[in-house]
Structure 1
Amino acid sequence: MSNTVRVGVAVIIMRQNTILLGERIGAHGANTWATPGGHLEFGESVEQCAIREVCEETGLNVSKVTKLDFTNDIFSAENKHYITLYVKADYEGGEPVLNEPNKCIQWRWCDINNLPSPLFTSLKNYLTTTTLTA
């Protein structure tokens, strides 16, 4: 395993009783469902990263980014280790667009009581300590 630990930011966006999830492809976690998010860039705040990643991946604008919790995620098969910072952002309207089709097959508003499977490791870890509420 690499001795580098990366920092990721995962953004929870709720619309009524649903959460926005994307089906990942290409990178670690392929064929799993995850929130929008990505790597924290040098000099960037967590809030800036969340807003940037959501816009880059989905075309959506979000506001009022609130810090939630973090997960310690080890992807043994891919030889990767992440600390993922979870935030919640207010949904401003519109529908997600597939801006990065090489990273995500689709975006879907998923019922929080009936999430798709399998979930991305980080999201699965997050949900072991947290319950999603609208």
Structure 2
Amino acid sequence: MEKTARPKVAVVVFLLEDKKVLLGRRRSTVGRDTFALPGGHLEFGESFAECAAREVKEETGLDIENIEFLTATNNVVSDALHIVAIVMRAVPADPDQIPQNLEPEKCEGWDWYDWNNLLRPLFGPLEAMPRCGFDPLFPPILA
């Protein structure tokens, strides 16, 4: 019987601070040198919010709160890679904490960028979102 390729499920996080979003420049083969959100693969039995908190902590050292679902995207990246991205948003639990680059083999570093003036190039799935009018700042997060 032939093995059928299946999509992977990823959770990405718009981590917001005022009107800024946390982005890192990718070092991995897929999307190399593009700016992307923190995130990663959903583990078995994990909720989207649990995955968001775990991935942000693993990659940046930041604890997050007010985690909420925004949307999902369907991304066929190549003939061999199909990712369903669960898009979440959150805010840092401690606004004074500074993001660290805890996975330097995957990312060059993290910084805050104005959503209305993002650096380019953006990671493919993220690039399409502002062009389509998507705005992670609206509606505002309620504390």
Structure 1-normalised TM-score? 0.92
Cα separation, 2, equivalents of 1:121 and 1:72:
12
Counterpart for residue 48 of structure 2: 46
**1:29: which partner in 2?**
31
Match of 1:119 in 2: 122
Distance 1:117 1:66 in 2: 26
TM-score, normalised by the number of residues in structure 2:
0.86
Distance in 2 (alpha carbons) for counterparts of 1:65 and 1:53 = 13
8 Å Cα contact 2:12/2:88 also seen in 1: yes
Identity %, equivalent residues: 39
RMSD (Å), alpha carbons: 1.5
1:99-114 correspondence to structure 2 within 5 Å: 99-114=102-117
Higher deviation after alignment, 93-102 or 27-36: 27-36
Measure how far apart 1:129 and its partner are: 4.5
1:74 alignment partner AA: V
CA contact (8 A) 1:71 1:126 kept: no
Matched pairs, number: 132
Structure with higher Rg: it is 2
Q: Which residue of 2 aligns with 1:131?
A: 135
Q: Which runs of 5+ in 1 are unaligned?
A: none
Deviations 1:58-93 (A, max 9, x none): 00000121001011111127x200000000112222
The equivalences for 1:54-69 within 5 A come to 54-69=56-71
Separation of aligned partners in 1, 2:13 and 2:136: 13
Question: Unpaired segments of 5 or more residues in structure 2?
Answer: none
